[in-house]
Structure 1
Amino acid sequence: MTTISPPNHTPIENERDPRRLLPGASNFRDLGGHTGHGGRRVRYGRVYRSDHLAGLTSEDLRLLKGMGLTHRIDFRGVAECAALPANVAGISTLPLPIEPTVVHRVEALLAQGTVPTEAETVALMCQTYQGFAREGAPVYARFFRHLLEHSTPLVFHCTAGKDRTGFAAALLLGALGVAHDDIVQDYLLTNCLYRRSPLVHTRGPDHVMDVLWGVQPAFLEAAFTTIEREFGGLARYLAGPIGLAPTDLERLRASLLETGNSPT
């Protein structure tokens, strides 16, 4: 499994450090700090990503309040939300469910007595990401519409904060003009930051679980290859299935990119 060190972001206050984990959350981080369109950096303190948020402590809640978060986008499926409610006082919720099909497929195989190999599990994950780009486009279009309509800080998440959330983060950073290599680097931070939650009960052979609960460049590249081959590239994908007009893209960048080369 590929792991990398966190990128060398400009030092900022601890509560916005993208490498800082909330005690009761995993894979929680600020998307700020990357260089985007026109050399402008993605603003800190505007958009965060996380895992399920169901195990927040009183300290987490204090930190979240200090971040000014007012709403969250939840990509989890219906059963996931029921099993791990993540309602937080003062934070409104927009449910954008994408059911965890890869987990269901693996569980079905195991129930039939078929144990997928590591390579087969990787292939299933790649197919899942292809599905994000194809069938998931209407959900991600609503994600971008919400970003355009709500300027206050938000967090988006799923169960582990790595796949449905990881693709959303990749699309957003891409829309903001962040270089592809930097997008992949940010995506792979999950392998440094994610801790398997004791609240999530998924069982299987170690080699299968290691694939399911980690991220690999091949997963994200499967989605971007699909975008390139079937939609003509990221720009056309954002303008087409995601529905971002040129003025929308300008508004998004004006909201989430710094106005100059120094923090604002």
Structure 2
Amino acid sequence: MDHNPNIIVPNANLRDLGGNKTQTGMEVKTGYLFRSGHLSELGEEDFKQFKNLRLRTIIDLRRPSEIEKYPTPNLEEVETLNFSVSSDDNEFAVAANFLNGEQLPTEITGKIIEKYFKNSVTEKLDSYIPVFESLTNPDNFPLLFHCVAGKDRTGIVSAFLLGILDVDESVIIEDYLLTNKLREKEMQLKEKQIRDHLVETTENSSETLIEERMEIAQSLLYAKENFITSVFDEVKKNFGNWDNFRLNGLKISDERVKKLKNFLLTD
């Protein structure tokens, strides 16, 4: 992988969103806005890098069960805000448990992740509104937001935020897909483990059923462009454009977004 100065801790999918250019010729400041996966397995050097971010706020998008399993390192000077944007019993959570060896209900299909992304703009949007009340407060920066892998929930929040900051959709896609490069070895290993497990446990070793289950596993493991573009499509379908989505969907006022842009963007 080419060197990318914004990648801080590759193993944690931790990176700086600074440097992303807007359509108005501005760019996001470096050192203020970060995204990542869980931070419970940082080595000594990685922890130093994490601490050197001098964060003021961490926004944790995970469910309580995930926080218990992968606790975030405690830094006294950092305030952690928990906003679970996914419940334990929804289809996304049930499908995610499949990666940990749990049985997958037959009604779950490979389309579940794309559906989850679409719903984030519509029926699940209310769960993101409090997230953005904190994300648009300059007093909370430097700020990091994260989930478990730093892919789906984190990817949605990143897309929403970059979108309302006027970053081009092609740049948002590139940011989302970067997860695949950072977690490539981990995902390939997990994919092999899941396939081996399915071969051992699938009745009559049905190749069709195994491939159906692998399609779901791959959707859970990998960032796919159609997931994030489905967000763009739903924004346009339901709100017309990012500005209307910001105002009428996320309930962020013109004054609030102006203050955020003045703080977070630079020439």
Change (3 A) 1:152 1:72: same
Query: 2:235 and 2:112 mapped to 1: Cα distance?
Result: 18
Structure 1 residue 175: Cα displacement: 1.2
Aligned position for 1:12: none
The one-letter amino acid paired with 2:152 is D
Deviations 1:110-136 (A, max 9, x none): 7367496xxx41x11111111211233
Structure 1 residue 106: Cα displacement: 6.7
The one-letter amino acid paired with 1:171 is F
Query: 1:224 and 1:66 mapped to 2: Cα distance?
Result: 34
Change (3 A) 1:239 1:210: same
Contact 1:78 1:99 in 2 (8 A): no
Aligned length: 237
2:12 to 26, 29, 32: 26
Scaled by the length of structure 2, the TM-score of the pair is 0.79
Aligned position for 1:139: 127
Alignment of 1:103-252 (within 5 A): 103-105=93-95, 111=103, 114=106, 120-121=109-110, 123-149=111-137, 150-194=139-183, 196=186, 205-252=213-260
Query: 1:214 and 1:257 mapped to 2: Cα distance?
Result: 30
Query: 2:258 and 2:23 mapped to 1: Cα distance?
Result: 10
The one-letter amino acid paired with 1:240 is N
The yes-or-no answer on 1:253 pairing with 2:253 is no
2:61 to 63, 66, 75: 75
Query: 2:135 and 2:105 mapped to 1: Cα distance?
Result: 44
Structure 2, unpaired ranges of 5+? 199-212
Query: 1:257 and 1:165 mapped to 2: Cα distance?
Result: 21
Structure that is richer in helix per residue:
2
The one-letter amino acid paired with 1:76 is R
SS at match of 1:212: helix
Bigger radius of gyration:
2
Structure 1 vs Structure 2 CA RMSD: 2.7
Deviations 1:199-249 (A, max 9, x none): x9x956544322211111111122221221122222111101211111111
Structure 1 residue 63: Cα displacement: 1.5
Deviations 1:66-100 (A, max 9, x none): 22112200000121112111142232210010226
Change (3 A) 1:37 1:113: closer
Query: 2:143 and 2:104 mapped to 1: Cα distance?
Result: 41
Aligned position for 2:210: none
Scaled by the length of structure 1, the TM-score of the pair is 0.80
Structure 1, unpaired ranges of 5+? 10-16
Query: 1:81 and 1:19 mapped to 2: Cα distance?
Result: 23
Aligned position for 2:30: 44
2:21 to 25, 35, 39: 35
Query: 1:51 and 1:158 mapped to 2: Cα distance?
Result: 5
Query: 1:187 and 1:106 mapped to 2: Cα distance?
Result: 19
Structure 1 residue 29: Cα displacement: 0.5
Structure 1 residue 58: Cα displacement: 2.6
Structure 1 residue 151: Cα displacement: 4.1
Structure 1 residue 48: Cα displacement: 0.4
